[in-house]
Amino acid sequence: MILMPKDSAKFINFCSKNVFVENEGVKNVAYAVLKGLKDGKISVNNFSECQFHPSPEDPKAVDWIFILNTLNYSFWNEKNCPKWTVNNQTGYFALCAAIKRAINEGKPIVDPKYYSQITRSEAEYIFRGDTETNIPLLDERVKCLRDAGKVLLEKYQGTFVNCVKLSSHSAQNLLRCIVKEFESYQDEADYKIHRVSFYKRAQILVGDIWACFKGEGIGKFLDIDYLTMFADYRIPQILLHFGAIRYSNALMSKLESDIELENGSDEEIEIRGCTIEVIERVKYEVKDLIERYIKEKNNQLKSNINSILIDHFLWNYRREHEVELEIVPYHKTRCIYY
């Protein structure tokens, strides 16, 4: 049996020998989130306000989001190597810029009839950077595209929209469908006595559809709180900065020495699992803070906070404080899952 992400996080946190959750740091994050809510920085509207994301009015929006998340992984650069950039964007936004550029150039990049047969040279052109630096894991991305496209053509009439419709407005149903049908989304590992899961890209895919359509229409999920945060390599960096997680001396030494962690190693699993556990605790802490704030100030504050919005806020926080966070190490694992 595979433990789903929330249960995986609890089990990993209980067993962890390399990563530890710090309650005071959890409160620090919760207060930062509360301030973000007060300042209007946390909103489901943030997704559509990004210039590189599809508009909910775009008939291809769902398939566009599917492509983005099928390729949303491993953008970090080796030490002393230049970053892959597109239109001066880095990381995930470089991917978004490349996809939008391809669409503007008339490439049917969101059509599985096209990407199920995409060649390496076509992908190389679509993801060409501003310099000679290429997108990492190009061959793996080509395979992910081909495999995903074939599944959509063979089982879902050539559109991810049909997967969403079959979920009956359930985030859990859609998540399970994604990880069952699309191999590259099977973000799992063996840890101690259990098979654990993180499903980073699959959860983002569901969360992005929810955010794009503001929780309405095809983006309406009655159980959106089923999703956790999206365990990557950046959110742990922020949690370390806030003191919400602590690393063993041995692990910290590895990260400071820029030693790669193997996908599926205990250390990597514990970083990701404890990160999910922290955000779950932050979520409940924020809900308590909101209730107290409303009582004390006799003032309404939007309180439908969830792990997706907290993840978005922290991810944007890192971009806003990039220079300040440069000294905080983050783990590097080269894989297709994040």
Q: Which two tokens stand for residue 277?
A: 């556990």
Is-contact 187 2, C-beta < 8 A? Answer: no
Q: Give the CA distances from residue 111 to residues 97, 154, 175, 203, in Å, rounded to whole numbers and listed in that order.
A: 17, 14, 21, 22
Amino acid 34: pLDDT: 96
Residue 241 has pLDDT above 80, yes or no: yes
Residues in contact with 325: Cβ distance below 8 Å, sequence separation at least 6, in sequence order? 237, 238, 241, 318
Can you give the residue ranges of every domain in the chain?
A: 5-326
* DSSP string computed for 254-265: HHHTTPPPPTT-
Residue 298 has pLDDT above 70, yes or no: no
Helix (H) or strand (E) holding 246: strand 245-247
Q: Let me know how long the chain is.
A: 338
Residue 227 has pLDDT above 80, yes or no: yes
Q: Give the CA distances from residue 17 to residues 20, 275, 282, in Å, rounded to whole numbers and listed in that order.
A: 8, 14, 22
Of 160-169, 170-179, 291-300, 321-330, the least confident: 291-300
Amino acid 127: pLDDT: 98
Other beta carbons within 10 angstroms of residue 250's beta carbon come to: 10
Residue 302 has pLDDT above 80, yes or no: no
d(CA 280, CA 10): 10
| Mean local confidence (pLDDT), 218-229 | 98
Q: Which of 208, 232, 266, 311 is catalytic?
A: 232
Residue 297 pLDDT grade (very low, low, confident, very high; cuts 50, 70, 90): confident
- Mean pLDDT across the chain, nearest whole number? 96
d(CA 169, CA 224): 9
Residues in contact with 218: Cβ distance below 8 Å, sequence separation at least 6, in sequence order? 62, 161, 164, 165, 209
pLDDT digits (tens, 9 = 90+) for 16-50: 999 999 999 999 999 999 999 999 999 898 898 88
232 is catalytic: yes
| Mean local confidence (pLDDT), 333-338 | 98
Q: Which two tokens stand for residue 188?
A: 């799992």
pLDDT digits (tens, 9 = 90+) for 183-219: 999 999 999 999 999 999 999 999 999 999 999 999 9
Is-contact 135 62, C-beta < 8 A? Answer: no
Q: Which two tokens stand for residue 219?
A: 């983006």
